[in-house]
């Protein structure tokens, strides 16, 4: 007799850093950096040799992105106009590393919420847009800290890492290779953000999420059936980060701004919105789901304008906050964790039979859809 396995989402977990930076605090620090820079290079600016930096504004940030604040792992150095980057004490190899620490915190909450014991989990995927080191894998450190027997590995698909992780986990379940898989997304995006870049200094925030993907036979009573998953990638240089271990071969440019997050925000906006809306509609059709009947969209949290347009194309009308909730205002863009935070915070009120969509999109380009139904 052949068994059929059915992947479901058993639970999610969220770790939110205590510290948070408001737009007002962020802009005050940025503008102080700008005036110091312009004063320092006043002669060169007057001679036309150096370009004067322009100040940032809270009005622009909120209007362009919907972001009002973001959580960070280290507020003080980020806001110090002389530093403007996160800093923390270096940890020895015997200590749990920072990404693993927050990943473990989110994972424990997901396990608790499902009533799941470590011995029942078969695999850990650490799916995030930046890893703290090349190896050993963050996932294996998280696996060890949680006391899980089995295997783990890291995967990076930028902002789509979590949905790619969910499909990978679901495929392990479907194939019978695992019955319970943790997908952990620790996103310390403050480390790859250029806090001195006016165009993007307001975008990102830090967080960690975890999703427990399991076979239905193992799942707690309250869970979400995974109706279908779809992944898509299309190469683009419009969101790029050139940081990497081969940079050591080019010491003269190793510290350049392109070793941090850079984007052509307008192009991203224009190209990604239609790509994602089309992908969602095609996948809904393939799964025989009426897209206009979707009860809720948990979209990637990068920009409220992008989400408004995508939700409108999918639902056929302007989405309410209830239909397409946002966490951008307090979390900012948390890369792959964004749609999972939205799902985690806004799924409790849905009823059995309600259908929704978790959807991510970002660098690569990469996009992932996970259609779910509450059981």
Catalytic residues: 159
In the list 269, 312, 313, 329, the residue contacting ligand COA (rule: CB under 6 A) is 269
Contact between 21 and ligand COA (CB under 6 A)? Answer: no
Contact between 163 and ligand COA (CB under 6 A)? Answer: no
Relative to beta strand 296-299, strand 180-188 is unpaired
Contact between 362 and ligand COA (CB under 6 A)? Answer: yes
Of 283, 311, 297, 281, give the one whose Cα is nearest residue 342. 297
Distance CA 173, CA 164 (A): 14
Distance CA 198, CA 201 (A): 6
Contact between 156 and ligand COA (CB under 6 A)? Answer: no
Closest CB 60 distance from ligand COA, rounded Å: 3
Contact between 334 and ligand COA (CB under 6 A)? Answer: no
Distance CA 56, CA 337 (A): 26
Closest CB 6 distance from ligand COA, rounded Å: 31
Q: Is 149 helix (H, G, I), strand (E, B) or coil?
A: coil
Choose the stretch contacting ligand COA; rule: CB under 6 A; options: 55-63, 91-99, 179-187, 311-319: 55-63
Contact between 229 and ligand COA (CB under 6 A)? Answer: no
Binding mask 273-312 for ligand COA (x = CB under 6 A): -----------------------------xx--x------
Choose the stretch contacting ligand COA; rule: CB under 6 A; options: 58-66, 93-101, 290-298, 315-323: 58-66
> How many CA atoms within 13 Å lie on the side-chain side of 253?
11
Q: Is 3 helix (H, G, I), strand (E, B) or coil?
A: coil
Choose the stretch contacting ligand COA; rule: CB under 6 A; options: 60-68, 94-102, 131-139, 167-175: 60-68
Which secondary structure element, helix H or strand E, spans residue 224, and what is its range?
strand 224-233
Q: Establish whether the linkage from the previous residue to 201 is cis, with ω within 30° of 0.
A: no
List 262's β-bridge partners, or say none: 240
Closest CB 56 distance from ligand COA, rounded Å: 4
Closest CB 261 distance from ligand COA, rounded Å: 8
Please state the φ and ψ torsions of residue 274, each to the nearest 5 degrees: -65, -35
List 71's β-bridge partners, or say none: 20
Residues 212 and 182 sit within 8 Å (Cβ to Cβ): yes
Closest CB 271 distance from ligand COA, rounded Å: 10
In the list 74, 128, 159, 262, the residue contacting ligand COA (rule: CB under 6 A) is 159
N- to C-terminal Cα distance for the chain? 26
Nearer to ligand COA, 33 or 224 (CB): 33
Site residues, ligand COA (CB under 6 A):
56-57, 60-61, 64-65, 159, 198-199, 203, 239, 263, 265-266, 268-269, 302-303, 306, 333, 362
């Amino acid at each position: 007799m052949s068994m059929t396995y059915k992947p479901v989402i058993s639970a999610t977990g969220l770790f939110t850093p205590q510290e948070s930076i408001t737009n007002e605090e962020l802009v005050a620090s940025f503008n102080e950096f700008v005036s110091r820079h312009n004063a320092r290079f006043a002669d060169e600016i007057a001679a036309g040799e150096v370009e004067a930096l322009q100040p940032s504004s809270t009005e622009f940030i909120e209007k362009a992105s919907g972001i009002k604040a973001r959580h960070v792992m280290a507020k003080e150095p980020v806001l110090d106009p002389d530093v403007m980057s996160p800093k923390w004490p270096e940890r020895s190899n015997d200590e749990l590393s920072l990404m693993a620490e927050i990943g473990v915190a989110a994972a424990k909450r997901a396990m608790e919420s499902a009533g799941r014991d470590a011995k029942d989990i078969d695999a850990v995927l650490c799916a995030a847009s930046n890893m703290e080191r090349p190896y050993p894998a963050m996932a294996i450190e998280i696996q060890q800290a949680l006391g899980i027997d089995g295997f783990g590995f890291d995967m990076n698909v930028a902002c789509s890492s979590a949905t790619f992780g969910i499909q990978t986990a679901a495929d392990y379940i479907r194939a019978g290779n695992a019955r319970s898989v943790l997908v952990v997304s620790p996103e310390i995006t403050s480390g790859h953000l250029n806090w001195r870049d006016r165009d993007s200094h307001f975008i990102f925030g830090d967080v960690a999420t975890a999703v427990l993907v399991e076979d239905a036979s193992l799942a707690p009573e309250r869970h979400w059936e995974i109706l279908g998953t779809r992944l898509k990638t299309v190469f683009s240089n419009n969101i790029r980060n050139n940081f990497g271990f081969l940079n050591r071969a080019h010491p003269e440019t190793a510290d350049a701004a392109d070793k941090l997050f850079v984007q052509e925000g307008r192009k991203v906006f224009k190209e990604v919105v239609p790509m994602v809306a089309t992908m969602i509609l095609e996948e809904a059709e393939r799964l025989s789901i009426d897209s206009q009947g979707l009860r809720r969209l948990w979209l990637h949290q990068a920009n409220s304008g992008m989400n408004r347009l995508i939700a409108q194309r999918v639902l056929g009308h302007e989405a309410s906050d209830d239909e397409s909730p946002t966490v951008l205002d307090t979390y900012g863009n948390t890369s792959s964790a964004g749609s999972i935070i939205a799902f985690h915070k806004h799924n409790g009120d849905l009823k059995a039979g309600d259908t929704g969509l978790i959807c991510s999109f970002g660098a690569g380009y990469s996009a992932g859809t996970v259609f779910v139904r509450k059981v």
